[in-house]
Chains A and B, each alone.
Chain A
Amino acid sequence: MNEMIIGHISEFPERAGRVVRLGDVELALFKLSDGSVRAVENRCPHKNGKLSEGIVCDHHVYCPLHDWKIDLHDGLVQAPDEGCVETFAARVDGSGNVVLQVPEGAGVRKVS
């Protein structure tokens, strides 16, 4: 597991997403109202909508294209729709840095 700092928590507006690009992979990082952060692949399983643009309610995001609801804890699409998005571990460290954990061998190596 590789860790990297991608920014400071002050750069993330509350209950909104920001796009994080790691080589070819695009993630959406969300700061929830409890101050914690969540990261998922920035692509709705339905029609590839950018989840970073969705409305965030507690730990869910609604895809901006067709309103699919996705749980940011486990990436699961909520009923009646079905599917799953990839999640990534993310945390805020003691100095307020947002740290992203990326699994070994993920698309991260493909630096553009």
Chain B
Amino acid sequence: MRKKLVMIGNGMAGVSFVEQLLKLNPQRYEIAIIGAEPHPNYNRIMLSSVLAGEAGIKDIILNDWDWYLDNGIALHAGQQAVSVDAEARIVTTDQGLALPYDELVFATGSLPFMPPLPGADKEGVIAFRDIKDCETMMETARTYRKAIVIGGGLLGIEAARGLINLGMEVSVVHIHSYLMERQLDATASRLLQAELEAQGMRFLLQKQSAAITGGDRVTGLAFQDGTHEETDLIVMAAGIRPNVGLAKDSGLGVNRGIIVDDFMACGIPGISAVGECVEHRGVVYGLVAPLYEQGAVLAKRLAGVETEGYHGSVLSTKLKVSGVNVFSAGSFVDEPGTKSLRVQDDLDGIYKKVVFANGKVIGAVLFGDTSDSSRLFSAIRSGKDFTGNEKEVLFGPSGGSGGGAGGKTVSTADLVAAMSGDEIVCGCNGVTKDTLVEAIAEKGCVSVGELKACTKASGGCGGCKPLVEAILATTLGADQVAVVKEGICGCTPLSRDEVVGAIRQMHLTTTKEVMHVLEWNNPEGCSKCRPALNYYLGMAFPEEHEDELESRFVNERNHANIQKDGTFSVVPRIYGGVTTPEDLKKIATVAEKYQVPLVKITGGQRIDLLGVKKEDLPGMWKDLDMPSGYAYGKALRTVKTCVGNTFCRFGTQDAIKMGVDLEKKFERLNTPHKVKLAVSGCPRNCAEATIKDLGVVAIDGGWEIYVAGNGGTRVRAADLLTKVKTEEEVLAWTGAYLQYYRETANYMERTSEWSIRIGLDTIKAALEKQEDRDALNARIDRTLDLMQDPWKQIIENDDLRNAFDALTAPVDTEAAAASASVSVPDGPAKP
């Protein structure tokens, strides 16, 4: 007879406890969970990502309905537990359900703290705590413009960032003089504020709210200093309070939270508590990692496994706001007896502070560069004495001046060794060091990728990846990790250079040959190596290699960009961004004919026809009768131009002609990744040529050529490659540069990453001599001579064209289905 376990609460901490209990002793309990929200267990931390549009609600479900079913757990969702009879051991819900228990677990979490302001009950005043709040915000953003977030802490800033993404004007009201005062010191906080202001956030600091104004719906917020702000939405993010009402009524000991001992017991037989509703040694935790640690202890106790108990956690915080890297952990405020090490770099917007007490690291704050976070966090938790070597904690063994011969080196390996086994490495998925070590030892994981597949560690925010790598290295031994070096993908241990070297030496001309000769693990490769090999083969042997359509990514196979709903977008070539009334009319007519839902000018000055059905693509191309704009390929995309001296009063050279010539010469060129060019007619640089893969800027009497810039996810200003006098020289340098990139870059490596990896000096040296440039140009010209326009090819080839059509069932399907016989239609539908 199984014992009955009832849990009140269906949140992250509680369900994580149940998961661990099931792993330890799946047969012991018959489990029932009461959850107030109508959803299965989801990742509350990710709500800010949902609001930011980076994830859907489905993406943040941690355990779906099937999980409860598969594990025999009765989930009473959408119900609230209303009373507990600790004598009779029965829980009752608001819908009249009475659940008897042998063990009861309170996992009631916390409630948002709603400051008791007059008017707080108006429509448009919400918290940011659950899926429903998230949905309300998204709905509000559709019809309203202004939002105020009350609270400048972690939650408030994440809510504000989400509302900005939804297109709202957002002001954050904060009672203190600086933001996130519980996680940051004043210096880091000011840096954060500046960064967020640059993202469009407005701050009203040291402001005390007095009343919410409006009729049924909120229209504004009045402050105690007599000022007033208009708004359409108020989000309260002023903190959370442990949800202890029911526990109090049930006779449990409650301070700020439900009081528990080191084993999560509440003092009444058969009742335990875990998570945000709990107060342990006077501390209430609101972050996920400690809650998982508590859950692990409770699971062990209830499973009958020995445990040392829970001894409290060191807290760390990361802000999940795009473009901002913030980390803090432990006690980072200077106090008597503490010493701190600070690095402040205003040029790069980086600030680091490590606080020591008696030689031990007790806290840290990082802003701008958080790459040291896991190392520092381990140092805090290890409690190791760094006396005499404090600087190594931040600068590594070689850095700083305090290091030196004979000093202990503080390596990540030491810190990993000092970690206890049940310490959580991955806070997103609650993976402990023991789980990782076990996966390495028993399941044979030898890479971070395999560990992720096996344990989900580093599968959330990815912040713990360096630590996972370190655990891998210390567990396996550094030599073992070296043996399993990762190649271009999981199909081979060979690097890009080894693969390309073999292709050239052995004269391999098909992907099949490469995989066979180089002993690929998977007979037909994967979605990473196949496109890469196809590119390398075409680069090495342009005449002999036959392009393999089936190894190309969908966009390059269909010569149009796939969109999230499965439709495509079509971009005709418009050289240098210069078009004519005739072409515009033609494009407009085609857009109307095929009912294109969205016509947009792209970032590269071209016209994008979005929302096209796949089967309409060939027809559209035919009607357009223009070359493909290659907006979809790892190829030359666009050459953006300004108007140059054709019309502009500042223009020194003909930027339009230069741009058109470049685009005509290099169009259809396959490259390791997409390549964007621009030409500006004067140093005012209206074409933004200095954030392009190659940018040309006209100066009086010549041209400057900039390379390896990027305007994408990692913005990078281009480096000056050279200055030349004539247009011919611009074309020759561009050709040589592009071919050198084609020959030496990894597939999917942008020029900006490539140039950092191999070094600008290497590139300059390779292009320095006229004869080398000529040889590179000869090779690129040979490749360019072979290129054909893909749209035209497909229109002219019936086999290629037919592949765009869907096959449809015979019209008489119903009859065919009813007769259950083989029906023979006339053939597939033809266009």
Which residues of A does B touch, CB under 8 Å? 1-8, 11, 13-16, 18-23, 26, 29, 33, 47-50, 53-58, 62, 64-65, 67, 69, 79-80, 97, 99, 102, 104, 108-109, 111
Contacts and interface: CB of A to CB of B under 8 A. Distances in A.
A14 to B, nearest CB: 7
B550 A16 contact: yes
7 contacts: A4-B810, A11-B828, A20-B806, A47-B56, A50-B562, A69-B526, A99-B822
A79 B453 contact: yes
A25 B201 CA distance: 46
Interface of B: 56, 452-453, 456, 459, 522-527, 530-531, 549-551, 553-554, 557-558, 562, 564-566, 614, 802-803, 806-811, 813-814, 816-817, 820-825, 827-828
B522 A58 contact: yes
B809 A23 contact: yes
B356 to A, nearest CB: 39
A29 B809 CA distance: 13
A33 B566 contact: no
Contacts of A53: 554, 557-558, 562, 566
Given A4-B825, A13-B550, 17 more contacts: A3-B822, A6-B807, A13-B803, A18-B803, A18-B806, A21-B806, A21-B808, A50-B562, A55-B527, A57-B522, A58-B522, A64-B554, A67-B527, A80-B453, A109-B814, A109-B817, A111-B809
Nearest to B819: A2
A81 B217 CA distance: 44
Closest 9 CB pairs of A and B: A62-B527, A19-B806, A53-B554, A64-B554, A15-B550, A80-B453, A57-B524, A22-B809, A50-B566
Contact of B816 (A4, A7, A18): A4
A5 B526 contact: no
B807 A2 contact: no
Contact of A6 (B802, B811, B828): B828
B429 to A, nearest CB: 11
A62 B453 CA distance: 17
Given A4-B816, A64-B562, A57 B822 contact: no
Contacts of B814: 109, 111
A2 B820 contact: yes
A4 B524 contact: no
A54 B614 CA distance: 14
Contacts of B820: 1-3, 104
Contact of A14 (B56, B550, B564): B550
Among B524, B526, B802, B809, max chain A CB count under 10 A is at: B809
Given A20-B806, A54-B554, A62-B527, A108 B817 contact: yes
Contacts of B522: 57-58
A100 B564 CA distance: 28
A21 B813 CA distance: 11
A50 B526 CA distance: 18
Contact of B551 (A2, A49, A55, A80): A55
B488 to A, nearest CB: 15
Given A22-B813, A55-B530, A104-B817, A11 B550 contact: no
A70 B822 CA distance: 29
Contacts of A57: 522, 524-527, 530
Contacts of B811: 111
Contact of B809 (A6, A14, A15): A6
Nearest to B491: A57
A52 B811 CA distance: 22
Contacts of B817: 2, 102, 104, 108-109
A80 B564 contact: no
Nearest to A47: B564
A64 B553 CA distance: 7
Contacts, number: 124
| Dominant SS among interface residues on chain B | loop
A55 B551 CA distance: 7
Nearest to A68: B527
A55 B564 contact: no
A69 B522 CA distance: 14
A6 B828 CA distance: 7
Contacts of A5: 822-825
B452 A4 contact: no
Nearest to B523: A58
Nearest to B565: A48
A63 to B, nearest CB: 9
Contact of B524 (A23, A33, A102): A33
A65 B564 contact: yes
A53 B525 CA distance: 17
Contacts of A104: 817, 820
A23 B809 CA distance: 7
Contacts of B553: 55, 64
B617 to A, nearest CB: 12
Nearest to B809: A22
A74 B827 CA distance: 28
Given A4-B809, A20-B806, A104-B817, A48 B566 contact: yes
Contacts of B551: 55
A14 B530 CA distance: 15
A102 B823 CA distance: 12
Nearest to A10: B799
Contacts of A1: 820
Contacts of B530: 55, 57
Nearest to A14: B550
Nearest to B823: A4
Contacts of A54: 527, 554
A33 B810 CA distance: 27
Contacts of B809: 4, 6, 20-23, 108, 111
A80 B456 contact: yes
A42 to B, nearest CB: 9
A4 B822 contact: yes
Contact of B807 (A21, A33, A58): A21
A33 B817 CA distance: 31
A2 B566 contact: no
Contact of A108 (B56, B806, B813): B813
Among B549, B810, B814, B817, max chain A CB count under 10 A is at: B817
A15 B810 contact: no
Contacts of B824: 5, 97
A74 B509 CA distance: 33
B816 A2 contact: yes
A57 B520 CA distance: 12
Nearest to B808: A21
B324 to A, nearest CB: 25
Contact of A23 (B813, B822, B827): B813
Contacts of B565: 48
A5 B459 CA distance: 44
A65 B573 CA distance: 25
Nearest to A25: B809
B531 A55 contact: yes
A33 B530 CA distance: 14
Contact of A7 (B456, B549, B821, B827): B827
Contacts of A97: 824
A48 B828 CA distance: 25
A55 B566 contact: no
A7 B807 contact: yes
Contacts of A79: 453
Among B557, B802, B828, max chain A CB count under 10 A is at: B828
A69 B527 CA distance: 9
A112 to B, nearest CB: 9
Nearest to B526: A57
Contact of A55 (B550, B806, B825, B827): B550
